[in-house]
Amino acid sequence: MSHPDLRSAVRPPPDAPMVDIADYVIDYRIDSQEAYDTARYMLLDSLACAALAMDHPECVRHLGPLVPGAVLPGGARVPFTAHELDPVQAAYNIGVQIRWLDFNDTWLAAEWGHPSDNLGAILAVADYLGRSGHAITVRDVLGHAIKAHEIQGCYALKNSFNRVGLDHVILVRLASTAVATSMLGGGKEQIINAISHSWIDNGVLRTYRHAPNTGPRKSWAAGDACRRAVTHALNAAKGEVGYPSALSATTWGFQDIAFEGQAFEFERPFGSYVMENILFKISYPAEFHAQTAVECAMQLHAQVGSRIEAEGVDAIEAIVIQTQQAAMRIIDKTGPLANYADRDHCIQYMVAVPLLFGRLRADDYGDTVAADPRIDALRATMRVEEDPRFTRDYFDPDKRYIGNSVQVFFKDGTQSEKFTIDYPVGHRRRRGEGIDLLMGKFEAAIAGKLPQSQAAALFALAADSERLLALPVTDLMNGLRC
């Protein structure tokens, strides 16, 4: 067996995965109308998420310059604020807004994630460039978003970063670095250089998403990844050198250090598959593996809610939730829940609230609602089990289901109907049903944040796809100012 000479200073060719990303970003031409149509709804949905997040002081305190006074007049705007910032900090701000409520789009496979997180970097760089004299339209933004979705999503299909303890925002940083470098005028060499730095950053630990450490960092981690990505892109555009074997270098590369020596695996070449199949969170601000469980619980409320009200939680013998393997790893929790972030990543909590109240809203994760003792009493009766069919359908590339079932058993020997839902309203197979609801989410969120005339102008744009896509991105961002 031959061994590499670790003393050799000869620089190898760039690692193939980095070259493949650069080739895709520069050369691939998107010809899928479905991808552009879905990307348009993704943008509107993300703006809705950002608007809704502005009602939460914990989010708002992250916004603005990193230190007081570090503003950039003529820089990138932050929606629903008056902030004008350098594109690095603006990327953080926008990424925080979109991600804060765990209500933006989702991608589920070997790795999980939220590809619209990349809009933090894309919108910040686009507005910065547009205000610097570059002609950038909303259609251009959507094209960059399709490619960012594809990079993040295709890596997630077969490569599980969570299994080595790394958080999925590592792929937000990767995808945003690649497209932001291209937006800033970088060619293939600069993109390779930039993403080599992204890999050298390694990844953040995902302990903040799991008991016993679950906390609000999960709501700003994607913004932080966007901020780092724009930093790498700006440096590469200025000529910073890259590291060609950042992935594969023996002993010192990412694969040996962080990925158990394994090379990446890929199910398909880059195209527009991810955007076409993206999952929208429409009805409930809940971790996506629980979306269909929440839908089941909402249907069960009509059967069991009044009985719980009349007889109390003591009438219940057990609540059985059957789910996928991934949900059991991420959101199956027992014991006290410390904060909002703990609760919106607990499938038992996300089922208990709609069973009791027939709803699940963002403020239901707050301390006031969580203080209702019936919620924890219901949680104590719950059994969470894996259904192997749900797990198989979850990984099937032709299905990508996220199934759950919920059934309630009472101490008097009676039981509720067992509700089973294979895929939620935001799934591609329910796209027609979902888009009307998505637009309702968008309009309600924007109407609650912008003055009436400003909101009406944005609604008219949203209804006219040709005019929206042709719009300079600077005009869109200006229309979101508060």
Residues 191-246: pLDDT tens digits? Answer: 999 999 999 999 999 999 998 999 999 999 999 999 999 999 999 999 999 999 99
Please count the other Cβ atoms lying within 10 Å of the Cβ belonging to residue 306.
10
- pLDDT one-digit tens code per residue, 446-467: 999 999 999 999 999 999 999 9
Identify the CATH class of 16-276.
Answer: mainly alpha
Q: Tell me the mean pLDDT in the region 60-69.
A: 97
123-149 in b/e form (b: 16+ CB < 10 A) is: bbbbbbbbbeebebbbbbbbbbbbbbb
Range name among 3-17, 160-174, 271-285, 306-320 with the lowest pLDDT average: 3-17
Residue 199 is inside which H or E element, if any? helix 188-200
- pLDDT one-digit tens code per residue, 269-327: 999 999 999 999 998 888 999 999 999 999 999 989 999 999 999 999 999 999 999 99
Burial class for 71, CB neighbours closer than 10 Å (0-12, 13-18, 19+): middle
Type of residue at 394: Y
Residue 439 CB partners (closer than 8 Å, separation 6+): 41, 44, 462
Q: What is the pLDDT of residue 202?
A: 97
Residue with tokens 């990767």: 174
d(CA 122, CA 130): 12
Q: What SS3 class is residue 429?
A: helix
Q: What is the pLDDT of residue 68?
A: 95
C-alpha dist (Å) from residue 429 to 173, 196, 324: 29, 37, 19
Q: Tell me the mean pLDDT in the region 373-382.
A: 97
Residue with tokens 């199949």: 277
* DSSP string of 40-107, one letter each residue: HHHHHHHHHHHHHHTT-HHHHTT-S-SSTT---TTSEE-TTS--EE-HHHHHHHHHHHHHTTS-S-BE
Q: Is the pLDDT of residue 6 over 80?
A: no
Q: Is the pLDDT of residue 355 over 70?
A: yes
Q: Tell me the mean pLDDT in the region 409-436.
A: 94
Q: Tell me the percentage of the chain whose pLDDT exceeds 70.
A: 99
Q: What is the pLDDT of residue 1?
A: 41
Q: What is the pLDDT of residue 351?
A: 98
- CATH superfamily, region 288-424: 2-methylcitrate dehydratase PrpD (3.30.1330.120)
Give the helix, strand, coil percentages of the chain, each rounded to 5: 55, 10, 35
Q: Tell me the mean pLDDT in the region 469-475.
A: 98
Q: Is the pLDDT of residue 5 over 70?
A: no
Give the tokens for residue 155: 């890596």
d(CA 35, CA 150): 11
- Verdict on whether the full-model pTM lies above 0.85: yes
Q: Is the pLDDT of residue 418 over 60?
A: yes
Q: What is the pLDDT of residue 283?
A: 85
Instruction: Tell me where in the chain the CATH 1.10.4100.10 domain(s) lie.
Output: 16-276
Q: Which of 250, 345, 238 is nearest to 290 (CA)?
A: 345
Residue with tokens 């027609």: 432
Predicted confidence band of residue 9 (pLDDT cuts 50, 70, 90) = confident
Q: Is the pLDDT of residue 2 over 80?
A: no
Q: Which of 220, 222, 219, 229 is nearest to 199 (CA)?
A: 229
d(CA 138, CA 259): 37
Instruction: Tell me where in the chain the CATH 3.30.1330.120 domain(s) lie.
Output: 288-424
d(CA 82, CA 77): 7
Q: Is the pLDDT of residue 3 over 70?
A: no
Average pLDDT of the chain?
96
Q: Tell me the percentage of the chain whose pLDDT exceeds 90.
A: 93
